């Protein structure tokens, strides 16, 4: 995939919860996994090890802040972190709250559904809560 065709270079699908020059945090609403967020590296980088030490540390700090915010706001049973990049080879992390009664639990969200699961409604102020937590954690 060329940079010109990369959806992460071209646009922000979802709601941007936090952004700075190096990366951004996006809430993806069109999924049955309530609260799923993506941390997207801003420049077109394919692999985590293509980043320098300082950038890798920064990215993991952002991923951890998103996980902590989601845990505090939504209180899931488990959190999943994934950086696959096979379909879209642009460095990004999925931060996914999981509940024991979701459709795929305990399997990954990319596996076959195990049952018809519960889709949780997010708090009406979810974006505002996450933005506040991310700003407090990351500046």
- pLDDT tens-digit map of 57-90: 999 999 999 999 999 999 999 999 999 888 888 9
pTM of the predicted protein model: 0.93
In Å, how far from its chain's centre is CA 28?
8
Give CA–CA dist 104/127, Å, rounded.
25
Give CA–CA dist 38/53, Å, rounded.
21
Q: Domains, the chain, ranges and CATH?
A: 3-138 (3.30.428.10)
Do the beta carbons of residue 43 and residue 49 sit within 8 Å? no
């Amino acid at each position: 995939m060329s940079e010109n065709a990369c959806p992460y270079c071209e646009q922000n699908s979802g709601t941007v919860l936090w952004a700075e020059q190096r990366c951004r945090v996006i809430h993806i609403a069109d999924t049955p996994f309530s609260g799923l967020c993506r941390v997207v590296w801003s420049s077109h980088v394919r692999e985590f090890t293509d980043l320098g030490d300082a950038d890798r540390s920064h990215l993991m700090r952002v991923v951890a802040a998103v996980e902590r915010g989601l845990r505090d706001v939504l209180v899931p049973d488990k959190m999943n972190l994934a950086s696959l990049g096979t379909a879209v080879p642009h460095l990004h992390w999925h931060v996914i709250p999981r509940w024991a009664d979701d459709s795929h639990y305990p399997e990954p969200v990319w596996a076959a559904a195990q049952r018809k699961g519960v889709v949780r409604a997010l708090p009406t102020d979810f974006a505002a809560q996450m933005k506040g937590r991310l700003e407090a954690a990351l500046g």
